[in-house]
C-alpha cells in the first residue's frame, strides 16, 4: 500500500510492502496466502516461508509474527523492501492470538482504552482479556524454524538448485538446543553407472523392443544386440547390489536380476521370449536409473527414521506415511521408493509394523502403562466414582469396547486384572460383577438432576452444541486417537471442554427420556469422564478425550429428538 495520495484521493507512488490493510492481513494470515500475490504460499514440504523482524523471535526458539507468508518466487523482491528482516521456513498449526487495543468499562457504562491505548498481543487462551480487545491483526507462532540463506533463484546454475538453501535450525543464542534434533540424511551419489549412461541404455532398449515381435507370447532367437545389452547391465547390477547396505533393496534387485537372467538364454533351441526379456531388462534399468540419482541412500533414510523413533519424535503407534516422509526429506517423486525400502528394513527389524491403516511405529514407550493396565485403572475409577457401584454388573466386554475405544481383547485382559485383584468377580460367559468390598472407598452415584451445572462450569460457555457440531467434534476426537495424531498444543484440552459442554446439554435431555439403570450408568460415565482431571501423558489425554466423545455420541442417541 502507499501513503501518498493524488489530488483525487487515490494512492500513488511505489508500494510500501511493510504496510498492509487490516482486512487483507486477516485473510492472508488465516489462509496462509502470499503477501505479494495473495495465492497459496505452501512450500513442497508443508511449511511456509516468512520474512520476519529480529524482535519477533521468542526465547524458546519460536517466532511470533503478524506478517503473512510469501511465496519463494516473490521472496527475494519482497525481502529487499523490508531490510534488516530474516527469512525463515516454518510450520504454524493455527493462529495463536491477535494484536489489538484493550478497553474497559467506565462507571457510566461507556468504553475507554485501557493503559496507554497501544496495541499488544493477546493469546486466544486468555479469554478474559480477549473479550475486551479490539483486534486488528492475526498473529501466528512459527515452529520448526529454519533460516533461509539465499532467496534469489537466479544465482543458481540449474533448476535442481533453485530450491531454497537452508541454513542451520533457527536459535536465539548460541548453546540453545535446536528445534530439529535429527539432521536430514545427506544426498550422495552411490557408486554405479552414471545417470546418462543408464538413460542411453533405456533408449537403446526401446529401439530393440520396437523391432521385436509384438505379441507377448512370441518366441524367437534373441537378437545379438539385446544379448550384449542385457549381459552388460546385469553385470553392472550385480556390482551395485553387492555394495548395498539395505537388505530389502538388495533382495529387490536380486529378483529383477534373476528375472533377466532366466530369459537371457540365447542358446535355447526353442528360442527366447523377446518381449518378456525386454520388459524384465527395462524394469532393471529403471531401478538403476533411480539408483543413480543424487538422493539420500536407503540406509541413510533408515537411520534417520530410526533416530526419530528413538528420540520420541515418532512415538509408538504414530503413522509413518511414505508420501509424508518423502516430502520431509525433499525427495523427488520417483525416489519415494527408497522410503518404502527403508520402512521394509525397519519392519524386518521389528521397529515398525504394517497394519490395515498403514505402517506404524511398534513398541511401548518407557514409563507408559500397558493398554490393559490403563483400561483396568480407568474401570477402577468408574467404580470408585459410583458409575458401577458394588453389587452391580459391568457391561459385557463387547459393549465396553465402543465407549472405551479399545479392542475387545484388551478389555478382556483389563477385566481379568480386576478379577485377579478382587475388585470384580467374573467367569466364562458371565458378566463381571463388582464385589461388595472392592478394597477402596466408593462414592455415591452422581445426581443426574444437578450434574449438568458442574459440567457447564467445567466446559466452554457459549459452545455450539448443535447435533451437527456434536457429531463433527466427536468424529475429530476419535480420529485423533485411532490414527494417533498429535494435535496442536491446547487443542486436546479445548476439545475436551467443548465435549463437556455438549454433555451438560445432552444429559438432562437424555434423563428426561430414559431412566433405566443402564441408561443412567451411561450418563454417569459421561459425566465422570468429563469431570475427572486429564492425565499428564499426551497419549492418555487423547484416549480419555476419545472416550468422552464416544460417551457424548451415546448421550445424543439417548436424547433422540430432544438433542
* Buried/exposed code over 162-196 (b: 16+ C-beta within 10 A; e: otherwise): eebeeeebbeeeeeeeebeebeebeeeeeebbebe
**Could you tell me if 164 and 72 are in contact, meaning their C-beta atoms sit under 8 angstroms apart?**
yes
At residue 179, the pLDDT reads 39
Radius of gyration of the chain (CA): 32
What number of other Cβ atoms are within 10 A of residue 118's Cβ? 8
**Ranges for all domains in the chain classified under CATH 1.10.10.10:** 298-361, 371-434
At residue 328, the pLDDT reads 83
CATH architecture of the domain with range 371-434: Orthogonal Bundle (1.10)
Q: What is the CATH number of domain 298-361?
A: 1.10.10.10
340/338 Cα distance (integer angstroms): 5
Cell numbers representing residue 199 in the block: 538413460
State how far the alpha carbon of 547 is from the alpha carbons of 325, 446, 496, 526, 557, in Å: 31, 19, 10, 8, 16
At residue 275, the pLDDT reads 82
Which residues are bridge partners to 40 per DSSP?
A: 33
At residue 561, the pLDDT reads 67
C-alpha distance across the termini of the chain, in Å = 50
Which residues are bridge partners to 135 per DSSP?
A: 100
At residue 6, the pLDDT reads 64
At residue 210, the pLDDT reads 80
Q: DSSP class of residue 53? A: -
122/138 Cα distance (integer angstroms): 10
478/546 Cα distance (integer angstroms): 5
Overall pTM surpassing 0.75 (yes/no) = no
Is residue 245 helix, strand or coil? coil
Strands 63-65 and 133-150: antiparallel
**Could you tell me if 371 and 408 are in contact, meaning their C-beta atoms sit under 8 angstroms apart?**
no
48/31 Cα distance (integer angstroms): 11
Rounded to 5°, the CA angle 129-135-136 comes to 150
Is residue 242 helix, strand or coil? helix
Q: Which residue has the cell 506415511?
A: 321
Nearest alpha-carbon partner for 281 in 333, 332, 222: 222
Rounded to 5°, the CA angle 343-345-349 comes to 110
At residue 154, the pLDDT reads 43
Kindly give the confidence (pLDDT) of every residue in the chain, 563 residues in length, as a single tens digit, with 9 standing for 90 and above: 445 566 666 666 665 555 778 888 888 888 888 888 788 888 777 788 888 888 888 887 788 998 899 888 888 878 877 777 888 888 766 788 899 888 887 777 777 887 676 788 888 888 778 888 888 888 988 887 888 876 754 443 333 333 333 444 433 333 333 334 567 788 877 788 888 888 999 999 888 888 765 544 445 556 788 888 888 899 999 988 888 888 889 999 999 999 888 877 644 444 557 788 888 899 999 999 999 888 899 999 999 998 888 877 777 777 888 888 888 888 888 889 999 999 999 888 888 888 777 888 875 444 344 778 889 999 999 999 999 999 999 999 889 989 998 888 888 889 989 998 899 998 877 889 999 988 888 998 888 888 888 888 888 777 788 889 999 999 999 888 887 777 777 888 899 999 999 999 999 888 887 667 778 889 999 999 999 998 888 888 889 999 999 999 999 988 876 65
At residue 515, the pLDDT reads 66
User: How do the residues of the chain divide into helix, strand and coil, expressed in percent and rounded to 5?
Assistant: 45, 15, 40
452/405 Cα distance (integer angstroms): 24
At residue 267, the pLDDT reads 42
520/378 Cα distance (integer angstroms): 18
Amino acid at each position: 500500500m502507499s501513503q501518498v495520495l493524488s489530488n483525487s484521493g487515490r494512492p500513488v507512488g511505489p508500494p510500501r510492502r511493510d504496510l498492509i490493510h487490516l482486512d487483507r492481513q486477516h485473510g492472508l494470515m488465516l489462509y496462509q496466502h502470499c503477501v505479494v500475490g495473495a495465492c497459496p504460499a505452501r512450500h513442497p514440504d508443508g511449511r511456509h516461508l516468512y520474512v520476519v523482524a529480529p524482535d519477533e523471535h521468542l526465547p524458546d526458539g519460536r517466532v511470533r509474527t503478524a506478517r503473512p507468508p510469501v511465496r519463494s518466487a516473490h521472496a527475494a523482491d519482497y525481502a529487499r523492501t523490508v531490510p534488516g528482516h530474516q527469512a525463515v521456513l516454518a510450520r504454524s498449526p493455527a493462529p495463536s492470538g491477535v494484536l489489538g487495543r484493550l478497553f474497559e468499562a467506565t462507571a457510566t457504562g461507556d468504553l475507554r482504552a485501557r493503559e496507554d491505548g497501544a496495541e499488544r498481543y493477546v493469546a486466544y487462551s486468555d479469554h478474559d482479556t480477549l473479550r475486551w480487545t479490539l483486534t486488528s491483526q492475526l498473529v501466528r507462532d512459527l515452529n520448526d524454524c529454519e533460516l533461509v540463506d539465499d532467496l534469489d533463484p537466479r544465482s543458481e546454475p540449474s533448476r535442481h538448485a533453485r530450491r531454497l538453501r537452508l541454513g542451520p535450525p533457527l536459535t536465539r543464542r548460541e548453546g540453545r538446543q535446536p528445534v530439529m534434533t535429527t539432521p536430514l540424511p545427506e544426498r550422495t551419489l552411490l557408486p554405479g553407472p552414471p545417470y546418462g549412461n543408464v538413460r542411453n541404455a533405456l533408449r537403446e532398449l526401446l529401439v530393440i523392443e520396437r523391432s521385436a515381435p509384438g505379441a507377448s507370447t512370441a518366441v524367437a532367437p534373441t537378437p545379438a544386440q539385446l544379448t550384449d545389452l542385457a549381459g552388460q547391465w546385469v553385470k553392472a547390477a550385480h556390482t551395485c547390489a553387492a555394495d548395498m547396505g539395505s537388505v530389502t533393496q538388495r533382495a529387490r534387485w536380486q529378483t529383477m536380476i534373476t528375472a533377466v537372467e532366466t530369459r537371457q538364454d540365447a542358446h535355447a533351441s526353442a528360442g527366447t521370449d523377446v518381449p518378456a526379456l525386454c520388459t524384465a531388462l527395462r524394469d532393471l534399468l529403471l531401478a538403476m536409473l533411480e539408483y543413480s540419482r543424487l538422493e539420500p541412500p536407503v540406509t541413510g533414510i533408515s537411520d534417520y527414521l530410526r533416530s526419530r523413533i528413538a528420540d520420541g519424535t515418532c512415538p509408538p503407534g504414530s503413522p509413518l506415511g511414505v508420501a509424508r516422509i518423502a516430502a520431509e526429506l525433499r525427495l523427488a517423486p520417483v525416489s519415494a521408493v527408497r522410503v518404502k525400502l527403508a520402512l521394509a528394513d525397519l519392519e524386518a527389524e521389528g521397529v515398525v509394523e504394517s497394519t490395515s491403516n498403514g505402517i506404524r511405529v511398534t513398541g511401548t514407550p518407557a514409563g507408559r502403562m500397558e493398554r490393559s493396565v490403563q483400561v483396568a485403572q480407568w474401570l477402577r475409577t468408574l467404580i470408585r466414582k459410583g458409575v458401577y457401584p458394588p453389587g452391580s454388573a459391568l457391561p459385557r466386554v463387547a459393549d465396553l469396547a465402543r465407549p472405551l475405544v479399545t479392542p475387545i481383547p484388551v478389555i478382556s485382559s483389563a477385566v481379568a486384572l480386576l478379577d485377579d485383584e478382587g475388585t470384580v468377580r467374573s467367569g466364562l460367559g458371565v458378566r463381571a460383577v463388582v464385589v461388595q468390598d472392592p478394597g477402596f472407598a466408593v462414592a455415591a452415584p452422581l445426581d443426574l438432576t444437578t450434574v449438568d451445572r458442574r459440567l457447564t462450569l467445567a466446559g466452554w460457555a457459549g459452545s455450539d452444541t448443535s447435533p451437527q457440531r456434536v457429531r463433527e467434534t466427536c468424529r475429530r476426537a476419535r480420529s485423533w486417537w485411532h490414527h494417533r495424531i498429535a494435535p496442536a498444543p491446547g487443542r486436546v484440552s479445548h476439545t475436551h471442554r467443548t465435549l463437556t459442554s455438549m454433555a451438560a446439554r445432552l444429559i438432562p435431555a437424555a434423563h428426561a427420556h430414559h431412566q433405566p439403570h443402564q441408561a443412567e450408568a451411561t450418563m454417569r460415565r459421561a459425566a465422570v469422564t468429563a469431570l475427572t482431571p486429564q492425565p499428564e501423558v499426551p497419549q492418555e489425554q487423547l484416549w480419555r478425550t476419545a472416550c468422552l466423545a464416544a460417551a457424548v455420541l451415546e448421550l445424543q442417541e439417548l436424547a433422540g429428538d430432544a438433542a
